[in-house]
Amino acid sequence: MKKVVVAVDGSQTSIDLLEQSFRYAEKEKDVSLFIFHAIESSEGKTLWYGNYPVYYVPSEEEVKEKIKQIVNKALEKTDLSRDLPIEIVVRTGISYECIVDYAKEIDASMIMIGHRGLSNLQRFFIGSVAAKVVYHAPCSVYVYKQKEKVK
């Protein structure tokens, strides 16, 4: 059975990627999908406890529940003829490293990831997670990019 890691971040691009991954899995038949999300410290938020700020990063279980809701919505929008083997995985760390490490861990045959299209300046300073995954991946990488809307 092929193991496919589908990296999601909750963006519209990753929701569209989920739908694409479901169609791929249904067509290929012998595929297990591992819906993967990495919690980065930037996902946290500052809460105030009296006069003191407390930085709060959501737990893996909290995030897993949110990802499960996103997956279920995407499944509802996709007309599938069968149930797909899907597992939701959440890890904490640097996104591209977590994705690549998990793909190695399960001996994935492919990683599917979305690309939102950073500006050149953003890409220079923070880099593209998709580009880093492509560079470091132990397997094939499918990069999903939304079509630009015609103005």
**CATH of residue 49:** 3.40.50.620
32 in any annotated domain: yes
A 10 A CB-CB count for 53 gives 10
- pLDDT tens digits for 83-100? 889 999 999 999 999 999
Q: Tell me: the pLDDT tens digits for 37-75? A: 999 877 777 777 788 888 778 889 999 999 999 999 998
More confident residue, 47 or 139: 139
Name the residue range of residue 124's domain: 2-145
What pTM did the predictor assign?
0.85
Q: What are 46's two structure tokens?
A: 């500052």
In a domain, 151, yes or no: no
pLDDT over 70 at 124, yes or no: no
* Tally of domains in the chain: 1
Residue 93 is assigned to a structural domain of this protein: yes
Mean pLDDT of all residues belonging to the chain: 86
According to DSSP, the β-strands at 52-56 and 2-7 are: unpaired
Q: What pLDDT does 57 receive?
A: 81
